[in-house]
Structure 1
């Protein structure tokens, strides 16, 4: 049986501010349903993604900014970083992890620049939405078998 991640709920404090932020990054607005003052659902999808994010009013009890480590995979991390910067996102410099396997939480173990051999899965950059929900870019040019 196939199972695909479809939606991730993101806790935000200001629905319109979050909507404007993600739309400014070039994400597609899929839905904006306001059923009442207590229930609103906004769904956006990053370019090229099959999975979307949802935020709104009455969707989660999680605190705004609670979600960390959301990952966007990109073919060219330098180009993706520049595009996000051009759209107004505050994106970190490109880094790689000292351990070489995956990024650590926070900024510890970050070494400046892309992975020295530009190894797939090895180069990262990060940014946050207005509430502090954390995103990672990860460069992948050739996927590992089975992915």
Structure 2
């Protein structure tokens, strides 16, 4: 750690430790659910973002030279996929009702 750098408040992860890092839960009221899990249960809210406009995100990637498949609607959930130069695939997902 360099001078003036704050210490990391998160404990290091032991090799071989199993972590539960992302759980998707259907909820009726996002603010109520966040307050319950964060304030009452004591979970840490590491990331909190609003869903992005998938068409705008896709257009931005295409403008930067990424070959992104067209957006497809699969039962109300929108997807668009692409691959990196090594063949790793990524899938953009947008659930419009969560915006």
TM-score of the pair, normalised by structure 1? 0.32
The higher-RCO structure (CA 8 Å, 6+ apart) is: 1
Query: Which one has a larger percent helix, Structure 1 or Structure 2?
Result: 2
Higher Cα radius of gyration: 2
Query: Which one has a larger percent strand, Structure 1 or Structure 2?
Result: 1
TM-score of the pair, normalised by structure 2? 0.46
